[in-house]
Amino acid sequence: MSGARVHVTGIGFITPLGCTAESFDDALFNGRSAVRARTLEIEGLDPVELAVAACDFDAAAVRSGSRLPLDRGTAMAVAAARDAAAQAGLRSGSVDPERLGIFWGSGLAGAGSFDDTTRALYGERRRMRPTTVLTVMPNAAVAELALQFGAQGAAIAYACACASSAVAIGEAMRAIRGGWIDTAIVGGHEAMLTPGVMASWHAMRVTAPPPPGAPGSACRPFSGDRAGFALGEGAAALVLESEAHASTRSAVRASSLFLAGYATNCDATHITNPDPAGQVRAMRAALRDAGIEPAQVGHINAHGTATTAGDAAEAASIRGVFGRATPVSATKAIHGHVLGGGGAIELVTALRTLAQGVLPPTANLRVPDAAFDVDFVLGEAREARDLRYVLSNSFAFGGTNAVLVAGRAMDR
């Protein structure tokens, strides 16, 4: 079934750039960063200045289908999925529940709940909440989404670090192509701007310090003076449907966007240092799955972490597959690194790029590293009205690579 289209009939998101297409597009195409400075203060340690991108989101306002407390990340997942389902017009009875699946990715799942619980236990000597396990477990969001939408097909959580949600989306695409389900609610989340998680990333020396007076310029992917990434939070959800199923609901006529290709593999070389050869294999496999040639891809949404090793490997692998022919953007500069939820949010940026026919700039990238011979979109957005296919990269600690190819039907 390689090359078969899987239609995107609904999109929802909770991001630092906003939760509507209008606010998201405004920030994306104008390169407006949501990264801000935050002081991490932990008793007994020196304060640390970090650059982070947080969402304006009230988790307490989200209704729980399980009637249990929701972790902030799970609440984001529910809100994003509801918006996607509403846009797709999914209603009770419009989908066979046994043919509806949930495929969701997150790296740290209920990080906020875990941080709260350990602080209460060790710092305040308070009793554990009896619901702690249910809010922290990696499949907490999947279980909640299945309850809320009555999904009785496959309901699977994926944990592949920064590739988690991209893998979840790709595996859902395979399940639909394989005929095991007709419809899937897919995506990912991460809500880990907690003291423990932020301190852990800072200790790895991969986070960028916020420049005084200009914290939005902290993350500079592919720049000669890049200094690491800014942590972010958020969630993104898609409704995916087979062409046959979407056609019966007339949904396919309302959406011109589809997923065309997917591949995942593993470098199997190092726990943190990426291997360009593995990334090349993943991108070429995704193109084969889509049944297209590199020249047909009009834009690449790079993983672009702004780390020394990550950017160098990705620039080399893009050059190896596409040469200098395909424009490249990296959007973590404005919405932060959302880790396990990043693949889903960055696929949404790729789909907005397709829908608008405009390539977003890489914010904060003024002078690319001289070693990277790639066509970066610099300064301002670039018009691309004939854009047909885009590719989105997600590369993770542990060596997992996931590549998604999205397309736009030109006859709709």
Supply the DSSP string of 235-253, one letter for each residue: EEEEEEEEHHHHHHTTHHH
Q: How large is the C-alpha radius of gyration of the chain?
A: 20
Supply the DSSP string of 255-269, one letter for each residue: --EEEEEEEEEE--S
Q: Which sequence positions are flagged as catalytic?
A: 162, 303, 337
Distance of CA 281 to the CA centre of its chain: 21
And the tokens for 145? 């989404």
**Phi, psi (degrees; rounded to nearest 5) at 285:** -65, -35
Give the total residue count for the chain: 412
Tell me which H or E stretch contains 118: helix 111-118
DSSP 126: P
Which strands form 234-242's sheet, in the order they lie side by side?
Answer: 155-158, 100-105, 183-190, 234-242, 6-14, 257-266, 400-408, 389-395, 297-301, 328-329
> Per DSSP, what are the bridge partners of residue 404?
262, 392
Tell me which H or E stretch contains 299: strand 297-301
Q: Is the dihedral of CA 164, 166, 172, 178 positive or negative?
A: negative
E strand spans, 113-256: 155-158, 183-190, 231-232, 234-242
- Which of 340, 306, 311, 313 lies closest to 162, judged by CA? 340
